[in-house]
Amino acid sequence: MTQPQPVMTADQLNQFIAEVYPQILEQLPGHDVRLVEPGRVVVRMEADERHIRAGGTVSGPTLFALADMGGYACVLSHIGREALAVTTNLNINFMRKADPGPLDADCKILKLGKRLMVFEASICQADQKDIIAHATGTYAIPPK
Amino acid sequence: MTQPQPVMTADQLNQFIAEVYPQILEQLPGHDVRLVEPGRVVVRMEADERHIRAGGTVSGPTLFALADMGGYACVLSHIGREALAVTTNLNINFMRKADPGPLDADCKILKLGKRLMVFEASICQADQKDIIAHATGTYAIPPK
Amino acid sequence: MTQPQPVMTADQLNQFIAEVYPQILEQLPGHDVRLVEPGRVVVRMEADERHIRAGGTVSGPTLFALADMGGYACVLSHIGREALAVTTNLNINFMRKADPGPLDADCKILKLGKRLMVFEASICQADQKDIIAHATGTYAIPPK
Amino acid sequence: MTQPQPVMTADQLNQFIAEVYPQILEQLPGHDVRLVEPGRVVVRMEADERHIRAGGTVSGPTLFALADMGGYACVLSHIGREALAVTTNLNINFMRKADPGPLDADCKILKLGKRLMVFEASICQADQKDIIAHATGTYAIPPK
């Protein structure tokens, strides 16, 4: 697959997101774009007691928020900071319990068109390989 | 469709959810099960400035959390408080901007089986009819 | 909800679809748009032995094809015959066994925007109310 | 990820599917399981003029059928021929036009539980890397 090329680095993304989403660190504490490469972004968060649901697992809305943020980081890193893209669809499968601690969303761009970006995100406990949740989503990209 | 019959009232649901999810009012302030009838539950929340994203719209994770809570209220109200169901899949389409204020998720049970419950949720501004977001989801029901 | 207004009748749709998709009657025999009203279309097909999978149930791809055709009929009926829309996403839940015979897809437009149409489809045995399969999908509408 | 181990080879799968689904070669001509390895199956079909829709692209229902068959091959190869699993959910994104000719669905098992198997499928033109369609789905596995 001819991979789309990023136009922002991980550092630039972190700085930009902190500016336009100052509330991000409240919602996704420890939010950190750790990797940007052609067609791929890895985003981390630190799940803590606030994100836990009954049964001691990280809540579905928290994992959704992390996947959605990963998709946003995909758009932003590959289109640039003028991107005003919005999520139009997100489908998520929850597969395993998630423990508190660092969680990584490894996100791949499946298609970057003029009007739509489609991505998938695999969420794992940091440095582990069992997939906790898997999401596929679409961002609509407004005309310039 | 032969509608499944509820076994808990809206008041019982509100009391039970407040007990087992004391954090619910922090995540979904004003959370209130407003209606339970055969195969249907309506859940409300009050979106405020904490739920707002860039562009002044209620965030995707907030709408996801409301839809997911609506699905949980469907299972709980129709199976009873021993229900330990967990979300396995949720697909959500975001269609219109959502303003802060009361939001209703009108949830219908599409199938209540022994092992899976499938539901859909339409989220609207309270007392309005334009659908802001529409979700379909599955809860797995553990064996007794 | 302010419902979008149709610009083609059921008869006009049936005639148009038979012209542009002559193969439709092979794939979905008995294909018949039975109702067009603001924001809603009902499409029928006759499932026969060719559509049956192991266990005697109508196959998933057949139900998918009926839901997808219902979405296409939604776009076509509400935009007109110049519509060159294509499916970008379809999510389907299979809930009950489907017997051969007439099947109806009752389709509702959830959003008709300039660039995307979102719809849902409930598939039932004709004249019955138990939902066999439920789909939500998106069609992309190309610029004129 | 600890990958589940297959219990059938590609040859055994092809032979078994031809026995229990004799109609498969009509629906998905050239159907061929080409690879089985831990947690992964690759399934091929030959798209021909019967699978083409307006605009010269392989139809959505054909791509759906291929993805669904790939999921079935995942269950079958990793559980064995007694598997009576049925699709409960399938979400598919259509991203690029598909030309007639050989199409491959590269399928990965995301979770193989006692009651549910979750998989993803990437469909490409054979020997190419651009993803035409991407699906995520769930099969329910009945108790033995």
Q: For A40-68, what is each residue's pLDDT tens digit? A: 999 999 999 888 887 789 999 999 999 99
Contact C136 B138 (CB under 8 A): no
- Residue A1 inside a domain? The answer is no
Contact D116 B91 (CB under 8 A): no
Residue A7 has pLDDT above 90, yes or no: yes
Best of A93, A118, A138 to disrupt the C interface by mutation (most C CBs within 10 Å)? A138
Q: Report, as an integer, the average pLDDT of A20-45.
A: 92
pLDDT tens profile B16-41? 999 988 888 888 999 999 999 999 99
- Residue C133 inside a domain? The answer is yes
Provide, as residue numbers in chain D, all residues whose Cβ is less than 8 Å from the Cβ of B91.
Answer: 91
Provide, as residue numbers in chain C, all residues whose Cβ is less than 8 Å from the Cβ of D62.
Answer: 61
Is the CA virtual torsion A24, A28, A30, A32 positive or negative? negative
**Domain boundaries, position B87:** 10-140
The pLDDT of residue D111 is 97
Residue B143 has pLDDT above 90, yes or no: no
Q: What radius of gyration do chain C's Cα atoms show? A: 14
Contact C134 B110 (CB under 8 A): yes
The pLDDT of residue D129 is 92
- The average confidence (pLDDT) of chain D is 93
Residue A141 has pLDDT above 90, yes or no: yes
- Pick from D89, D91, D115: CB nearest B115: D115
Provide, as residue numbers in chain B, all residues whose Cβ is less than 8 Å from the Cβ of C136.
Answer: 91, 93, 134, 136
C16-30, C95-109, C111-125: least confidently modelled range: C16-30
Best of C91, C132, C134, C139 to disrupt the D interface by mutation (most D CBs within 10 Å)? C91
Longest dimension (CA), chain D: 46
Instruction: Name the minimum distance, in Å, from the CA of A38 to any CA of chain B.
Output: 26
CA-based nearest residue in chain D for residue B89: D89
Residue A11 has pLDDT above 80, yes or no: yes
Element (H, E) at D24: helix D24-27
- Residue D86 inside a domain? The answer is yes
Listed in order, strand segments (DSSP E) in B1-144 are: 32-37, 40-47, 52-53, 57-58, 86-94, 101-112, 116-125, 133-140
Alpha carbon D101 to chain centroid, angstroms: 17
Residue D55 has pLDDT above 80, yes or no: no
pLDDT tens profile A93-127? 999 999 999 999 999 999 999 999 999 999 999 98
Q: Report, as an integer, the average pLDDT of D7-23.
A: 92
Residue C105 has pLDDT above 90, yes or no: yes
Q: Among C87, C93, C55, which residue's Cα sits nearest to residue C69?
A: C87
- The average confidence (pLDDT) of chain B is 93
Decide: D63 and D133 in contact? Cβ < 8 Å: yes
Provide, as residue numbers in chain C, all residues whose Cβ is less than 8 Å from the Cβ of A115.
Answer: 115, 140
- Residue C4 inside a domain? The answer is no
- Pick from D93, D113, D118: CB nearest A118: D93
pLDDT band at C143 (very low <50, low <70, confident <90, very high): confident
**Coil, helix or strand at residue A61:** helix
A124/D1 Cα distance (integer angstroms): 10
pLDDT tens profile B72-123? 999 999 999 877 899 999 999 999 999 999 999 999 999 999 999 999 999 9
Instruction: Name the minimum distance, in Å, from the CA of C15 to any CA of chain B.
Output: 31
Provide, as residue numbers in chain D, all residues whose Cβ is less than 8 Å from the Cβ of C86.
Answer: 55, 94
The pLDDT of residue D2 is 77
Chains with 3+ CB–CB pairs under 8 A to A are B, C, D
Provide, as residue numbers in chain B, all residues whose Cβ is less than 8 Å from the Cβ of C129.
Answer: 1
Contact D88 B140 (CB under 8 A): no
Q: Report, as an integer, the average pLDDT of B133-141.
A: 97
- Residue C111 inside a domain? The answer is yes
Contact B89 D138 (CB under 8 A): yes
Instruction: Name the minimum distance, in Å, from the CA of C77 to any CA of chain B.
Output: 20
pLDDT tens profile C76-85? 999 998 778 9
Decide: C134 and C86 in contact? Cβ < 8 Å: no
**Coil, helix or strand at residue A108:** strand
The amino acid at residue C72 is: Y
Single pTM value for the model: 0.96
- Residue A66 inside a domain? The answer is yes
- Residue B135 inside a domain? The answer is yes
Contact A87 B94 (CB under 8 A): yes
The pLDDT of residue A127 is 87
Provide, as residue numbers in chain B, all residues whose Cβ is less than 8 Å from the Cβ of C96.
Answer: 111
Instruction: Give percent of chain D with pLDDT exceeding 90.
Output: 80
Q: Report, as an integer, the average pLDDT of A28-40.
A: 96
The 3-state secondary structure of C101-141, one letter per residue: EEEEEEEEEEEECCCEEEEEEEEEECCCCCCCEEEEEEEEC
Decide: A38 and A4 in contact? Cβ < 8 Å: yes
The pLDDT of residue B112 is 96
Q: Among D88, D90, D122, which residue's Cα sits nearest to residue D104?
A: D122
Structurally, how many domains does chain B consist of? 1
Strand B116-125 versus strand B133-140 pairing type:
antiparallel
- Residue D2 inside a domain? The answer is no
pLDDT band at C92 (very low <50, low <70, confident <90, very high): very high
A47/A43 Cα distance (integer angstroms): 13
The pLDDT of residue C119 is 98
Is C81 buried (19+), middle (13-18) or exposed (0-12) by CB count in 10 A? middle
CATH of the domain at C71: 3.10.129.10
Q: Report, as an integer, the average pLDDT of D41-50.
A: 94
CA-based nearest residue in chain C for residue D97: C86
pLDDT tens profile B55-77? 789 999 999 999 999 999 999 99
The pLDDT of residue D1 is 62
Q: Report, as an integer, the average pLDDT of C53-76.
A: 93
Contact A86 B94 (CB under 8 A): yes
Question: Chain B to chain D, count of Cβ pairs less than 8 Å apart?
Answer: 14
Residue A83 has pLDDT above 90, yes or no: no
